């Protein structure tokens, strides 16, 4: 299957990065290189793009899509390790970083990866196929209370306890192996009258995917690390797709900006507040009406931008 990637909020991201032709940029979620292509097109030969992805299929597709560009460095790794990655490349600071969080269109559409609740495939959901933890492990081995908690927290699913209970009852009979089996359990756990807001398995599948790929826990620190890697004037653009991601990014931005707690009548700051920069987006940017019509997956996207000072 071809690795297609319709980049979300492309114009806003490119403008937000304020690309310098001779600069060094990082796409921490390379995917099909939709955003990266527009970045590297704006770079001169001395400019550089570092593309990071933990999905080897994505990296191979990106190499093909960007094969005419010689100033791209491809890294099979997790953007959570951005400091270590740049250190190994002997790069001190960069001019911009883009993080497009969540699962890619290709991963959703490639049914055998197990991300989709449509069809019947193995319970996998790994972005990095070399890791051990899979959705099958989570579903069949996590204690009921832990399952209920992660489905509620990561999926914001109000019927999480019933879903977890029914998963545990089913797995006592036999191992749950496929996405179809999991969907059937979820559908039986949610009253028919409440199955109106999209597919009933959507929230649970999101929660399991987040757990398998550890998408939330390191995110706050990843944002702080990314800001540390920017040189003065450098920008970090982050696209999120659900409230937990957006909250982590927002809070990390607020902490990096810092806040003076001195009384307003003092002529200068004495509290020692330090700032790493400025939040460019006071409120997150969202997709335009035109983009929403062309790309339904941009519906929940939010873009936040931070500039290092």
Give the residue among 105, 97, 106, 103 at the shortest CA–CA distance from 13.
97
| Averaged pLDDT, 77-85 | 97
Q: In this structure, are 208 and 289 located in the same domain?
A: no
Residue 180 lies in a domain: yes
pLDDT at 107: 59
User: Among the ranges 109-118, 171-180, 260-269, which has the highest mean pLDDT value?
Assistant: 171-180
Q: Does any domain span residue 2?
A: no
| pLDDT above 60: residue 154 | yes
Look at residue 4 and tell me if it is in a domain: no
239 is a domain residue: yes
Asked if 33 and 179 sit in the same domain, the reply is no
Among 17-26, 75-84, 128-137, 260-269, the minimum mean pLDDT is found in 260-269
pLDDT for the residue numbered 260: 74
Q: Are 142 and 159 found together in one domain? A: yes
Domain-located, residue 297: yes
Flag whether 5 is in a domain: no
| Predicted local confidence at residue 111, as pLDDT | 60
If asked whether residues 126 and 148 sit together in one domain, one would say yes
Number of domains composing the chain: 2
Tell me the CATH number at 131. 1.10.150.170
Of 284 and 269, the structure prediction assigns the larger pLDDT to: 284
High-pLDDT (> 70) share of the chain, %: 95
Asked if residue 283 has pLDDT above 70, the reply is yes
Is there a single domain that holds both residue 54 and residue 191?
no
Strand partners, 73: 50
Of the three residues 213, 232, 252, the one that is the final residue of a domain is: 213
Residues 23 and 151 in one domain: no
Q: Are residues 79 and 224 in the same domain?
A: yes
Q: Is the pLDDT of residue 1 over 70?
A: no
Q: Do residues 88 and 231 share a domain?
A: yes
Is 91 in the same domain as 225?
Answer: yes
Residues 120 and 138 both lie in one domain: yes
148-155 average pLDDT score: 96
Which of 213, 241, 258 is the last residue in one of the domains? Answer: 213
Instruction: Kindly report the CATH number assigned to the domain that includes residue 300.
Output: 3.40.50.150
Give yes or no for residue 81 having a pLDDT over 70: yes
* Residue 110, pLDDT score: 62
**pTM for the structure as a whole:** 0.89
Task: Dump pLDDT digits (tens) for 86-127.
Answer: 999 999 999 999 999 977 655 565 666 888 898 899 999 999
Q: Within this chain, do residues 14 and 53 fall inside the same structural domain, yes or no? A: yes
Q: Give yes or no: residues 235 and 299 share one domain.
A: yes
pLDDT of residue 198: 82
Q: Is residue 1 part of a domain?
A: no
Q: What is the mean pLDDT of residues 243-250?
A: 94
Residue 266 has a pLDDT of 82
Domain boundary among 160, 184, 213: 213
Tell whether 3 is covered by a domain.
no
Task: Convert the chain into a string of H (helix), E (strand) and C (coil).
Answer: CCCCCCCCCHHHHHHHHCCCCCCEEEECCCCCCHHHHHHHCCCCCCCEEEEEECCHHHHHHHHHHCCCCCCEEEEECCHHHHHHHHHHCCCCCEEEEEEECCCCHHHHHCHHHCCCCCCCCECCCCCCCCCCCCHHHHHHHCCHHHHHHHHHHHHCCCCHHHHHHHHHHHHHHCCCCEHHHHHHHHHHHCCHHHCCCCCCCHHHHHHHHHHHHCCCCCHHHHHHHHHHCEEEEEEEEEEECCHHHHHHHHHHHHHHHCCCCCCCCCCCCCCCCCCCEEECCCCCEECCHHHHHHCHHHCCCEEEEEEEC
- How confident is the model over 49-80, as pLDDT tens digits? 999 999 998 899 999 999 999 999 999 999 99
Q: What does the mean pLDDT of the chain come to?
A: 92
Structural domain harbouring 204: 111-213
């Amino acid at each position: 299957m071809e690795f297609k990637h319709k980049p979300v909020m492309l114009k806003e991201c490119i403008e937000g990065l304020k690309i310098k032709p001779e600069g060094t940029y990082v796409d921490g979620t390379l995917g099909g290189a939709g955003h990266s292509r527009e970045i590297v097109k704006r770079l001169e030969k001395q400019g550089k793009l570092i593309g990071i992805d933990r999905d080897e299929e994505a990296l191979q597709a990106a190499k093909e899509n960007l094969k005419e560009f010689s100033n791209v460095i491809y890294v099979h790794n997790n953007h959570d390790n951005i400091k270590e990655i740049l250190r190994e490349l002997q790069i001190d600071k960069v001019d911009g970083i883009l993080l497009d969080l969540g699962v890619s269109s290709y991963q959703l559409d490639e049914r055998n990866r197990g991300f989709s609740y449509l069809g019947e495939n193995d319970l996998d959901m790994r972005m990095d196929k070399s890791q051990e933890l899979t959705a099958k492990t989570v579903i069949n081995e996590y204690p009921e209370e832990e399952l209920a908690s992660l489905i509620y927290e990561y999926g914001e699913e109000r019927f999480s306890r019933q879903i977890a209970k029914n998963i545990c009852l089913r797995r006592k009979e036999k191992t749950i192996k496929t996405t179809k089996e999991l969907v059937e359990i979820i559908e039986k756990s949610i009253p028919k009258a409440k199955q109106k807001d999209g597919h009933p398995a959507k929230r649970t599948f999101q929660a399991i995917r987040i757990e398998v790929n550890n998408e939330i826990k390191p995110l706050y620190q990843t944002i702080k690390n990314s800001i540390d890697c920017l040189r003065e004037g450098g920008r970090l653009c982050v696209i999120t797709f659900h409230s937990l991601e957006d909250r982590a990014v927002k809070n990390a931005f607020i902490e990096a900006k810092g806040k003076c707690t001195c009384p307003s009548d003092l002529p200068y700051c004495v509290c020692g507040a330090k700032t790493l920069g400025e939040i460019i987006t006071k409120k997150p940017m969202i997709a335009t009406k035109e983009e929403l019509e062309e790309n339904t997956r941009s519906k929940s996207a939010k873009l936040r931008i931070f500039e290092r000072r």
